[in-house]
Amino acid sequence: MDYRRYLVRDPRICGGEPVVKGTRVTVRTLLASLAEGATVEEILRDFPTLKERGVRAVIAFAAASAEEDLPVPSVPDIG
């Protein structure tokens, strides 16, 4: 999924925090909800302006960010 199609950052919306396009729901809010154990269905009920693809885009963004930002530990030499 190309999350960039669904997430925007505009200084006039939520102080420039990244949000799901067409909403005022921040990426940070959705990630916090997911981290607390909320299901996608629960999130969609809590934020009626969201669509499932917006939540999936946030998950894809988090996955891509983790891949880019986390250091990769070296593999121990067992040979």
Please give the model's pTM, rounded to 2 decimal places: 0.81
Name the pLDDT band for 65 (thresholds 50, 70, 90): confident
pLDDT tens digit sequence for 31-56 = 999 999 999 999 999 999 999 999 99
Identify whether 34 is part of a domain: yes
Q: How many domains does the chain have?
A: 1
Which domain does 50 fall in, by range? 3-69
Assess contact for 43 and 50: CB atoms under 8 A: yes
Assess contact for 55 and 44: CB atoms under 8 A: yes
Identify whether 77 is part of a domain: no
Identify whether 78 is part of a domain: no
Domain containing 27 — which CATH number?
Answer: 1.10.10.10
Identify whether 14 is part of a domain: yes
